[in-house]
Structure formats: C-alpha cells, structure tokens
Amino acid sequence: MKTYKLLRFTILLFFIFISLNCSDPTEPPPDDNQYLKYEWTIDTLKNPNGYGVVPWSIWGSSDSSVFIAGFNLAGQGELFHWDGTIWNRVTPDLGFNYEVLSVFGFSENEVYAVGSKLIVDTVLHTEALILKYNGISWQRENLPLGSGLKFIYGRNPSDIWACGYYGAPYRRINNQWFKVPFDERKYLGLMSISPSLGPLYVAPNGEVFIMNEFYDYKEYPDTAMFYFTKYSNGSWQDLDSCRLVNIDGIPTGFSFGNKAMYGINENEIYSVGNRGLFKFDGNNWTLTTWDDFLYRDIKGTPEKLIFTVGDHGTIRYFNGSSWIRIGDFGSYIVDFYSVMPFKDEIFIGAYQLGVGYVVHGKVKK
C-alpha cells in the first residue's frame, strides 16, 4: 500500500456504490470550522488480486491499532489492520465465500467482525457469521443458524449484540451466543416478512436500542415501516416509528437515522442516515444537522468529540455546543463510509472509482 500526501479525487463513484439520498430543502449549515485542523495522508487498500476494497466499517482500540472490515469488488470479505505504521491485510481464509460489514472490539486483542457466509444455489442465501480476533488470528464463533449480520455493538466483553438481515438479533453472554426473540409483527398478515435489523446501540445501563425496517407486503415493496425499538428487562418496546415511501427507488420519510448509531447513554443517542443527523434525548428524536449528502457513520472519543462522515467528502464534528463542518474534502467526489476518531487523530474509510482508501488525519499542532 502506498501513502500519498494528497490524493486528487476525480469522477463520480462506480455506480453500484452510489447511495441516493434525500436532501433537506433548507441550505445546510456553513463550513465554519475554526477549531480542529488536520494534516492528511491517504493510504490505498487492495487485495492481492488488485481488487479495490470498500471500507464499510472501522474500529480501533488506539491510534496505533485500528481495524477495517469491508469487501472487495469481487464480493469477498476483507479485513485490514493498522499497526501504527502501515495497513496490513489480515483477511482469513475460511474455506468459503463471505462478507464482513461491521467491526467492533474492546481491546487490540479482543475484536469482533460480523457478516455473512454466502451460499449460492438457485439464489443467493446468507448465514450469520461472527469472527473473533484474539491478538493472533481470526477465529469463527459458534452460532445458532440465522441470516447474515450487518451490525455489532457491546457494552463490555461479556454482553455483546449483533443483528442484520431478516430475523432475531444475537446476544453473547459468558462466551456463548444465542438468539433473542424479536417481535416479527405477525399481525400484518401472512404476506409480511421478518424485519431487517440495525443499526443498534447498547447503553451503559444494558438497555439495547435497535432500528428495524420491514415491508408490509412482499407484492407491494413501495412502502415500509421503520421502527426505533428498545430492549429492557427482557422485553421489546417500540419508542418511535415512521413510514417510508420509495420514490424512484429512494426511501423518504425518515424521522431518525438509518445508517449508524452512537450513544453516550440511554438519554443521549445519535443516529445518522439519508436525511441527516438526529439526536434522541430519552423521549424524542430531533433533526440536529444535515448536509446535501447522506451521512454513513458516527462515532465519538472519550474526550466527547463526536464525528460523522458521509458522501462527497462530508465530515462534521460536535464540539460540545454545535456541529462544525470540516470542508477539506468538500470539493472532491468521494464517499466516506466509516470513521474512527481519537484525541489527536482520525481514520476515515473512503471509496472512489473502484478503489478504497483510508484518509488519516493528525491534528495540526
């Protein structure tokens, strides 16, 4: 992998990774970054066959140990690790095709990646897949059979949750994974299908918050219900909902984010997605900030700096009172898929024209 001091991003993204979004008719807040200034470097991510990599998810225990999970343009899962100097490809050979869509951990020696085992007969099927890194290698976790996974989050190593396509979420307690029954909303009739779950957030008090989307009827997939649901004391409770309407293939009507969640506690949760960035105060969601393009990820630091990234080089951070836009990449046609911030550094997973990158920023002194 080759590091460049500056990368000139060029034309529109390869079409299969373009994500259409719903713009707010009001102009987005201006580029008013007067605080954090970064020195940027850019690394490319490729597999040995030269395929570009989509850096779908990123997590790190420190600025010298960061993991990326994603997939290459051949549709195969990829994992990379930053050791403080270079990015190393650490993708395990599992003996079958798979993808990984989320990575999360608790230390550099306890990291989890979730995704799907890909099975093709007459159609494509997915099976739940969870990998654990123990500081030496990735090992496959034993799971009850279920559909593929897209999200993982935990409050500590003894209480971890994962969820994804069409089915019940998984929970890990005392080194064992099991399924947690989820309301399948059977009252909608025989033509309803199991909801697609995620993103999710686990609060310090153990409560679990999860988005879930489902279509009322398979024959009419132009509308869907989107729920914000809480798991507490062994039961699920819907806290909010909105009906999504597909207009020319674009879902509209979001009342909270559909791409990622990050929280401080059960009364301060943030979500991002097609419409913008929302904040939950324990009772209601409020649209807090937005740009012309969708946000894809959101994470924070122990210093309570919260960052969100999205399409067309969008970066914003919360300084405790307002959301500040960093416009360093605003003129480039590049999509930011994932973010991992630290006190003085930030890592952003980027994709443009069939090539995956890591945009690495260090705070200017």
pLDDT by position in tens, the chain (length 365)? 444 333 333 333 333 333 434 444 455 555 555 678 999 999 999 899 989 999 999 999 999 999 999 999 999 999 999 999 999 999 999 999 999 999 999 999 999 999 999 988 878 889 999 999 999 999 999 999 999 999 999 999 999 999 998 878 999 998 999 999 987 554 455 555 667 899 999 999 999 999 998 766 554 557 788 999 999 999 999 999 998 888 887 888 899 999 999 999 999 999 999 999 999 999 999 999 999 899 999 999 998 999 999 999 999 999 888 999 999 998 888 999 999 999 999 999 999 999 999 999 999 98
How far is it, in rounded angstroms, from Cα 38 to Cα 45? 21
Per-residue pLDDT tens for 49-59? 989 999 999 99
Peptide bond just before 199 cis, omega within 30 deg: yes
Six-digit token pair at 216? 């009322």
> Residue 16 — φ and ψ, nearest 5°?
-75, -10
- Strand intervals (E) in 90-181: 98-107, 110-120, 124-133, 138-140, 149-156, 159-164, 170-173, 176-179
| Phi/psi-derived region of residue 255, left when phi > 0, alpha when psi is between -120 and 50, beta in every other case | alpha
Q: Are 136 and 110 in contact (CB under 8 A)?
A: no
Q: Is 193 exposed, middle or buried (0-12, 13-18, 19+ CB in 10 A)?
A: middle
How far is it, in rounded angstroms, from Cα 229 to Cα 69? 26
Map residue 271 onto helix, strand or coil: strand
Q: Which domains does the chain have, with CATH numbers?
A: 3-363 (2.130.10.10)
Place of tokens 């009172």: 321
Residue type, 101: L
